[in-house]
Amino acid sequence: MKRQKKIKLTLFYFIISIIMGYLIATGGSHASDMDDTMLMFVGEDLETVTVASRTPESPSTAPAVVSVVDHNDIVNYGYKTLAEVLSAQPGFYISDQGTGSMPYVRGISNGILVLYDGVPVPTGGVRNYYSLDHELSLNSVKRIEIIRGPGSVLWGADAFAGIVNIVPFTGKDFAPESVEEKSGKKKYAGDGRAEVTAGSNHAFSGFADRGYNGRNWDAYLSVYGAQNRYDNGSLQTITHAGDDWIVSDETIDDSEYREVTANFNLNDSFSISGRFSDFNKSYTQTVVNTTNLGWSSEKKVPSNQIKANYSTAWGSSHWNLTTYYQDISYEQMDAGDSIPEKLNIFYGELLWDRRLFTKGLITAGLSYRENHVEDESANNGFMPDYLFAEYGLFTPITNYSNYKNTLISLFSQYRHPFEWGEFWTGFRFDDNSMYEDYAPSYTLGINIPLNGGWRVKTAFGTGYRTPYTLQQWSDEDDLLTKEETLLTRDEVATLNLQAEWSSGQGDLFSATMYRSHLSKNVQSDPYAGLSDPSDQNFSGLELFVKKKIKDRFEAYCSLSKVFYSGDEYDLRAYSFSYFGEDGTRVDIYDTWSESYDPGADFIASSGLTWHLHPNMDFALTACWTAPIPYSYKENTITGEYDNPLLLNSELRIKLIPYKNILFSVGCKNILDGDFTYPGFYGPVNGSPLTGYAAVRFSF
């Protein structure tokens, strides 16, 4: 508790220091100074991205393979979750597992860094929590910036196979200009929205937000709540009593989600923002070769973050000071056994950029991060064996660890334009107290514009990832006497080659080829824990087409193909022990090998928005993936799950004469396809046919 209070007080003093620094600095906006330093600002009416270079710019000029999904796209295609947005992007495959959607990027699982307002959303030591489902509302999202490929130079650990940056609305987005009273004094202007949605599977959600814009300030606040039921919410459980097995029906609880976001900006220089989220997701765990036997589980992840930022221009340089604090609690309950984990993160960063050699732009930064982890847990044992064993219900042995981890980072990226295009290079040096050596990251690329709206990008980058929980325990000791050890990290190196054409009017075509090498990678197995490190190679092709037909139709099509090869993963699981004649104990392990799990190696998705009438729109999206391989129980049960064509639709009507009321009805999985995903212990049912209706009121 004292440690937490100390962190919170440190954050408080740091924020106060920023505010005092702002008050001491010259008042007013620094917009003109920023323009003088050529920070590549583009107008809000154009598509912008900040995640690739930490400054606003067009996706076509950004030093990465990047795309943007703005709020209009979210509304036009009826996306309800971040998972649905990413499923439509080339290179992404989303596995709809019971614990929550699990992302694959170019065949690599658990490889994306999710940022909310530039702040990383931690995934936990087990890498099984991503804010891709209903715990994050898209109503408050202005745009989603997506990078395919490593981005550790600017963002550090876990910017591995891709980055997703969620940019929230601000007050200026709702009220671009403040209102002037008759007296001539400035007064704030504001707009807001409220929405209620109800549907099948006990689905219900409510959302409200409000934006304000004053003379030299703006503010935004949103509130969101939802509930739904995973699948049909029922299953059969099996327990052991005496010599009998008892099978009983059980209904799981509804899942509930809550979120509050807010931000405040002063003079375009100082800002403070926060996101406060909590949810409890109820789901089922099933065992391989069964479709109705299993047990209920629940996951709770209260997550709070607060961020402060101060930006100013001094001479020909621009300075940006950022700090944030996060408080996250993970709790997962399996068969009545609760596994909690708490994480507190404090982060501070100083970012500097300026022009060099007249046209070049250098960006450099220094950052410090401190993690405090309490009760990080690692299970030893195979849950189904404990539940269905002849000796009755037991729970696996759980190891707990408390520790502090520090990360000191120094990074820089330089960009220089030439007559033929632009060149960039970058380097990052991370000193992580958890690793046995330093963690360097690199980036290198060129961007060449051609005639007729064409351009070619070549980008090379490296990245690394934080470890699994089990990697913090030595596998050479007894299960009951585990000891912490310094870790080796898995790394990725990716080369991208992209050809892109843009009409400037919304039409877009891109073709991307890539080659990735994954080294020192370990895989998680429910029976054996973690595998020995292995190397993998990936290559693939991604095609994306977006087309507008007059003012009536908007459509896109995305195709992705992944090729992979590499070593198999060696695993072992403790079986039994015996004592030899000399009294020494001999441990016997089951050993086996498994191939890499790339998820779906072919994904096709498309979408269409039809503007039927000035007050009526219709959206239809489709997605199909190749069969998904699975492996259970020491690689003795293997196969593939087939996936049907998934169709989603939505009809939106602006009610007349009340034009500020929007009514919409929609349907997910229209064809009611019956399919399963590979779960942790066995098959997981995909989402069934669901319908919903929503009413939105603007004020």
Integer Cα distance of 652 and 78 in angstroms: 9
Contacts of 577 (CB under 8 A, 6+ apart): 585, 586, 587, 588
User: Cα–Cα distance between 365 and 350 in angstroms, integer?
Assistant: 6
Q: How far apart are CA 195 and CA 210, in angstroms?
A: 12
| In the chain, where the domains are located | 2-698
2-698: CATH architecture: Beta Barrel (2.40)
CA distance 417 to 424: 9
Phi-psi region of 224 (alpha: psi -120 to 50; beta: other; left: phi over 0): beta
Backbone angles phi, psi at 171, to 5 degrees: -60, -35
Which DSSP symbol is given to 627? P
Q: What is the block-wise mean pLDDT of the chain (699 residues), using blocks of 10 residues?
A: 44 41 37 29 57 89 93 93 95 86 91 92 70 91 95 90 94 67 48 92 92 90 92 64 65 90 95 95 77 75 94 91 93 75 92 89 94 74 62 58 86 94 95 83 95 93 80 46 58 96 89 95 81 92 93 93 92 81 83 90 95 91 93 84 92 79 92 84 84 91
Spell out where 381-527 has E strands.
397-418, 421-432, 439-449, 454-464, 491-502, 508-521, 524-525
User: Quick check: helix, strand or coil at residue 157?
Assistant: coil
Kindly state the DSSP code that residue 233 receives in the 8-state scheme.
S
Asked if residue 178 lies in contact with residue 670, where contact means CB atoms within 8 angstroms, the answer is no
Among left, alpha and beta (phi > 0; psi -120 to 50; other), residue 225 is beta
DSSP reduced 3-state for 106: coil
With a CB cutoff of 8 Å and minimum separation 6, the contacts of 428 are: 152, 153, 154, 156, 409, 410, 411, 412, 440, 441, 442
Contact of 356 with 424, CB cutoff 8 Å: no
Q: Which token pair is 184?
A: 């001539």
Cis, bond preceding 90 (omega within 30 deg of 0): no
Cα torsion 534, 540, 545, 546 to 10°: value is 10
Q: Where are the beta strands (DSSP E) in 229-359?
A: 234-241, 244-251, 255-266, 270-286, 294-300, 303-314, 317-334, 337-356
Interior angle at CA 233, CA 228 and CA 238, nearest 5: 150
Q: What's the pLDDT score for residue 15?
A: 44
Q: Specify which residues 238 forms β-bridges with.
A: 247
| Residue carrying structure tokens 């929503």 | 694
The residues facing 323 across adjacent strands are 308, 348
- Closest of 420, 455, 442, 423 to residue 357, by C-alpha: 423
